[in-house]
């Protein structure tokens, strides 16, 4: 499965190693708490958890600067946390509170943060790709050095916009990094049941777009591959596509009975849990002690508890404001 071969012990310092672990744990614990809050009916609507895919969100985000633009999907809690959106405003958003990152207008699938160039979660599969192409065009036309990172899943590969966007970005040599999170299922339809060619990284050849397939359960492989690809995009070589081979351990959403895959398959993938695997490696390399782990877990736990407390005590947006933010001030 792993296409990239990583050195046994990469050039990695202890501080960065523990940072990556901590970031993945933040997402894992945030998602577990979100599921709990959904069960308690604090969170409603659709809730798509990122559990199992943390290495992709965290590893890839290390390649981007604050000037870069991020376009995400409806399974974007991991991207948002890794981008630096505070857990407090994300939890408040899912509670529907006025303090949420989208003022309670978006919910779980539509996190936004202008200050971090986080251009949102898109809930129409493939719908974010043209937006990313346009953001990159704007950067290029204004001679900014930024690149645009565009996350999407394997399901999006079946959409026309995937093909149109690869073509247009390549044709205009735009600085877009396409990040395909291949978790093997488009909701409940397995990749092999919706794609004639299941090697997604091979699909870019027809558009002249460089690509690479990466073990999405290995945060270091993800980080290294994304930095290389981002460097290529930054150098003006046009778009690049990375296919991260990963797996979601939870159902597609909270309302999915998960009848389309076997328990054995899920258990097999859980053996490659990105967080457990990374912990084992760090211990082997002498970069993580039991007390380090306990401290990180405690800090993460406190952060998530604070997020829930913040969401609980935050006010609701007054219903009188219902029609605000539909249009700007009309010009005379």
Partner 1 sequence: MTYREAVRAALRKALQSDPRVFLMGEDVGRYGGAFAVSHGLLEEFGPERIRDTPLSESTFLGAGIGAALGGMRPIVEIMTVNFSLLAMDQILNNAATLRHMSGGQFHIPLVVRMATGGGRQMAAQHSNSLEGWYAHIPGIKVLTPATVSDAYGMLLAAIRDPDPVFLFEHATLYPLEGELDEAAEPADITRAAVVRSGKDVTLITYGGTLGKTMQAADHLAKQGIEAEVIDLRSLRPLDNPTIMNSVAKTHRAVVVGEAWRTGSFAAEVSAQIMECAFDDLDAPVARVCSAEVPMPYAKHLEQAALPKVEEITSAAQGTISRHG
Cα–Cα distance between 250 and 324 in angstroms, integer? 36
Which 101-130 residues touch partner 1, going by CB under 8 A? 101-106, 110, 112-114, 119-120, 122-124, 127, 129-130
Shortest distance, position 106 Cβ to partner 1, whole Å: 5
- CA 154 to mean position of chain CA atoms: 13
Q: 157 near 203, Cβ under 8 Å?
A: yes
Number of residues that bind partner 1 (CB under 8 A): 48
Shortest distance, position 113 Cβ to partner 1, whole Å: 7
Shortest distance, position 30 Cβ to partner 1, whole Å: 20
Q: Give every CB contact of residue 18 below 8 A, 6+ residues apart in sequence.
A: 282, 287, 288, 292, 296
- Identify the residue among 5, 13, 142, 143 touching partner 1 (CB under 8 A): 142
Shortest distance, position 36 Cβ to partner 1, whole Å: 25
Angle at 294 between CA 288 and CA 297, to 5 degrees: 105
Q: Is residue 64 a contact residue for partner 1 (CB under 8 A)?
A: no
Q: Is residue 134 a contact residue for partner 1 (CB under 8 A)?
A: yes
Q: Is residue 141 a contact residue for partner 1 (CB under 8 A)?
A: yes
The crossing angle, in degrees rounded to 10, of helices 274-284 and 14-39 is 150
Shortest distance, position 60 Cβ to partner 1, whole Å: 20
Note the residue count of the chain: 332
Q: Is residue 68 a contact residue for partner 1 (CB under 8 A)?
A: no
- Judged by beta carbon, residue 152 or residue 247, the one nearer partner 1 is 152
Q: 255 near 224, Cβ under 8 Å?
A: no
Q: Is residue 151 a contact residue for partner 1 (CB under 8 A)?
A: no
Q: Is residue 165 a contact residue for partner 1 (CB under 8 A)?
A: yes
Cα–Cα distance between 157 and 126 in angstroms, integer? 8
Please, what's the b/e burial string for 263-300 (b: 16 or more CB within 10 A of its CB; e: otherwise)? Answer: eeebeebeebbbbeebbebbeeeebbeeebbeebeeeb
- Judged by beta carbon, residue 6 or residue 138, the one nearer partner 1 is 138
Shortest distance, position 176 Cβ to partner 1, whole Å: 10
- Judged by beta carbon, residue 57 or residue 130, the one nearer partner 1 is 130
Q: 166 near 174, Cβ under 8 Å?
A: no
Stretch binding partner 1 (CB under 8 A), from 20-28, 285-293, 296-304, 320-328? 320-328
Which 188-247 residues touch partner 1, going by CB under 8 A? none
Please, what's the b/e burial string for 151-174 (b: 16 or more CB within 10 A of its CB; e: otherwise)? Answer: bbbbbbbebebbbebbbbbbeeeb
- Judged by beta carbon, residue 57 or residue 100, the one nearer partner 1 is 100
Q: 57 near 30, Cβ under 8 Å?
A: no
- Identify the residue among 11, 192, 196, 330 touching partner 1 (CB under 8 A): 330
* Residue that has been written with the tokens 């211990």 in this structure: 283
Residues that bind partner 1 (CB under 8 A): 69, 100-106, 110, 112-114, 119-120, 122-124, 127, 129-139, 141-142, 160-161, 164-165, 167-168, 171-172, 324-332
């Amino acid at each position: 499965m792993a296409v990239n071969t990583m050195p046994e012990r990469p050039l990695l310092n202890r501080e960065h190693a523990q940072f990556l672990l901590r970031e993945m744990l933040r997402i894992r614990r945030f998602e577990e708490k979100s599921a709990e809050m959904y069960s308690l009916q604090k969170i409603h609507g659709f809730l798509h958890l990122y559990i199992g895919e943390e290495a992709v969100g965290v590893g890839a985000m290390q390649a981007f600067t604050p000037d870069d633009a991020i376009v995400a999907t409806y399974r974007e809690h991991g991207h948002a946390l890794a981008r630096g959106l505070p857990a407090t405003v994300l939890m408040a958003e899912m509670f529907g509170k006025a303090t949420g990152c989208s003022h309670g207008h978006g919910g779980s699938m539509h996190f936004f943060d202008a200050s971090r160039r986080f251009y949102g979660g898109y809930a129409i599969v493939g719908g974010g790709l043209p937006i990313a192409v346009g953001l990159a065009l704007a950067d290029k036309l204004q001679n900014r050095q930024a690149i645009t990172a565009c996350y999407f899943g394997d399901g999006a590969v079946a959409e026309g916009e995937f093909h149109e966007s690869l073509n247009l970005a390549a044709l205009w040599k735009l600085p877009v990094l396409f990040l395909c999170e291949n978790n093997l299922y488009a909701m409940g339809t397995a990749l092999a049941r919706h794609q004639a060619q299941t090697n997604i990284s091979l699909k870019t050849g027809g558009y002249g777009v460089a690509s690479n397939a990466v073990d999405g359960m290995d945060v270091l492989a993800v980080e290294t591959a994304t930095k290389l690809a981002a460097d290529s995009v930054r150098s003006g070589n046009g778009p690049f596509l990375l296919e991260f081979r990963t797996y979601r351990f939870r159902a597609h959403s909270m309302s999915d009975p998960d009848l389309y895959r076997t328990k054995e398959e899920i258990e097999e993938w859980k053996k490659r849990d990105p967080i457990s695997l990374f912990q084992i490696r760090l211990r082997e390399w002498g970069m993580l002690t039991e007390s380090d782990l306990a401290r990180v877990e405690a800090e993460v736990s406190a952060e998530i508890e604070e997020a829930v407390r913040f969401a609980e005590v935050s006010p609701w947006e007054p219903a009188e404001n219902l029609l605000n933010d539909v249009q700007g001030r009309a010009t005379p």
